[in-house]
Amino acid sequence: MEFAELIKTPRVDGVVLRRPFLPTVEGTLCLTGHHLILSSRQDNTEELWLLHANIDAIEKRFVGSLGTIIVKCKDLRVIQLDIPGMEECLNIASSIEVLSTLDSVSLMYPLFYRPMFQVIEDGWKSFLPEDAFKDLESMTEEWRLSDVNKDYSVCSSYPPLVAVPKDVDDDTLRKAAAFRHGGRFPVLSYYHKKNGMVMMRSGQPLTGTNGRRCKEDEKLINATLRAGKRGYIIDTRTVSVAQQAKARGGGFESEANYPQWRRIHKAIERSSILQESLIKLVEACNDQSHSMDRWLSKLEASNWQTHVKEILTTACLAAQCIDREGASVLVHGTEGTDSTLQVTSLAQIILDPACRTIQGFQALVEREWLQAGHPFQQRCSQSAYSNSKPRCEAPVFLLFLDCVWQILRQFPCSFQFSQHFLVLLFEHTYASQFGTFMGNSASERSVRELHPESHTLCLVMDIHCLQKVFIHLDLFHILSCYSLNSTWIKYILFLTHQHTIPHNDITIPHNDITIPHNDITIPHNDITIPHNDITIPHNDITIPHNDITIPHNDITIPHHDITVPHNDITVPHNDITIPHNDITIPHNDITIPHNDITNQIKSNQILFVTYTWLADVNASVAKCLCF
């Protein structure tokens, strides 16, 4: 089939483009096999290049001979095209509807895309399991890399190579795979080098109503325990849901058959619930009533923040079991491809500083999402605007990125990247010129030979990193880069903002505070702190009689270099006024705790997350950890 057969009107002049927060643009609209393009002859005007695969839904409106097409994108942008002529408008709309719903892999844009930059290395070979295992071998000899799944016959959603206990042979792995949903037998997800504890992931056991057991499966997960140690099985389903799964042939680990393991159930919603939540969240963000009460009511009704809370609470539990309790952890839900991956990925971000670098986060996504079999093509085929009935669509990966952003917002100095890095990942999961997120598993990408035919997203990430687009600089760089124009998700993901100066070197001279990279100077007069950018907790600011130490960041405050002018420091919209005689700053250290957690965390320490709106987390975790 030729693309030309699907395009009734390839070009229309005099089309007006309207986008939120941007000036209108008049130009020529062109349709190609993969793009909707609007080009203007005006100087300094940005062209519109929109992938058809990024279009979630369209609406048509007519006023006389003028037609209007409202294009709603999967990345949550809303674009309006005013097209002169009813026939031209109908033809354009018809072509867009067909081109945006093509599901043939051979016609997808990544197979046609050729980058304009020089490709130095094969991005598909950047994060191989063999390379990751070399790091594991340097820390322990208790694990091996098995090729039991080299032809994808044992588990279609696993990669060809998996890390398993050294004492377990491949025959045992095959029998354990037959006992797990989708053949997803327990495999290594993370090794905690501090104490040698591990985190594994799998599918649910197929115990059924008869209480079936598998000694090979029991041997496999018991092989991960140290002598005299116990482990935790974190089931991401409620007890009732797990019981219902048992009636359908699934189930959970019996305490009688797994006496060394304590099972904990945590409620993380299924994919269909998450999709409905995203739709309600987008509706709330697009509400034009300008009523704060209505906005907050709709936001709460979407339950999006509740889902974020549930996932982060479970990830914190897994991290605490490994680090504080010195216990190994097995995480699974039903299939082990959605909520399981959310928990294991976030727990690694909490525990491992390497996962908070740009390179480390890319490796995490490759290892815990792409190679681990998250069905990106199914989950991201529709977004929040689609008029079609949801099938397998769910914002699972988007919810994970939002959880990462929540941690990034509280501990900005512990991350190498900024929020723009997360937004780019979100945009490319739904529509991209790269083949990274095509298919539902490594086996599908292998069968369709996507690797030699397409390029991977890590290429453009490396280029952006060289240009320091994603590097987490300072507050003023973030404020200058942040724009609501590029995509609506920036409004949805970042509903509230609390900016903190991240981990670049900051020098404070005698009079002025100079922040490198942006040439912004705060002079020796009144200091005005922007609206809502600093939150001062209840009596949490203490000025001890020690030396000034600010962890993790090379911030040097010279002797006698802090001067408080004879003016008031005013914090707008917070009604806090500190007179000039009320501040005494000795030649000592200022330690500012944040809810009893050090605000800036050293890169070699573990990052544990707490929330002002998660007051019951510590109590619930303490109960779970009691034997």
Phi/psi of residue 483, each to 5°?
-140, 135
Residue 111, pLDDT score: 84
Task: Mention every residue, 6+ apart, whose C-beta is less than 8 A from residue 373.
Answer: 155, 156, 157, 158, 184, 337, 440, 441, 442
Long-range contact pairs involving 338-341 (C-beta distance under 8 Å, separation at least 24): 338/270, 338/271, 338/374, 338/379, 338/394, 338/396, 339/236, 339/268, 339/311, 339/396, 340/201, 340/202, 340/236, 341/201, 341/368, 341/369, 341/372, 341/374, 341/396, 341/400
Q: What is the pLDDT of residues 223-279, one digit of tens each?
A: 999 888 899 999 999 999 999 999 999 999 999 999 999 999 999 998 889 999 999
Q: What is the pLDDT of residues 369-397, one digit of tens each?
A: 999 999 999 999 999 999 887 789 999 99
Residue 471, pLDDT score: 64
CA dihedral over 459, 462, 464, 466, signed as positive or negative: negative
**For 570-592, what is the mean pLDDT?**
40
Name which of 51-65, 279-293, 387-401, 512-526 the model is least confident about: 512-526
Query: What is the C-alpha separation between 294 and 280, in angstroms, rounded?
Result: 13
The H or E element that residue 201 is part of is strand 198-201
Q: What is the pLDDT of residues 34-43, one digit of tens each?
A: 999 999 877 7
Query: What is the C-alpha separation between 12 and 9, in angstroms, rounded?
Result: 7
Query: What is the C-alpha separation between 443 and 149, in angstroms, rounded?
Result: 10
Over 60: is that where the pLDDT of 492 sits?
Answer: no
- Between 188 and 493, the higher pLDDT residue: 188
Q: What domains sit in the chain, N to C, each tagged with a CATH number?
A: 3-104 (2.30.29.30), 143-493 (no CATH), 504-599 (no CATH)
Name which of 362-366, 469-473, 506-510 the model is least confident about: 506-510
Query: What is the C-alpha separation between 318 and 626, in angstroms, rounded?
Result: 14
Q: What is the pLDDT of residues 185-211, one digit of tens each?
A: 999 999 999 999 999 999 999 999 999
The H or E element that residue 146 is part of is strand 143-146
Q: What percent of the chain has pLDDT over 90?
A: 53
**For 362-372, what is the mean pLDDT?**
93
pLDDT averaged over the chain?
77
Q: Beta strands 328-332 and 231-235: pairing type?
A: parallel
Residue 73, pLDDT score: 95
Residue 172, pLDDT score: 96
118 band by pLDDT with thresholds 50, 70 and 90: low
445 band by pLDDT with thresholds 50, 70 and 90: confident
CA dihedral over 549, 554, 557, 563, signed as positive or negative: negative
Residue 502, pLDDT score: 34
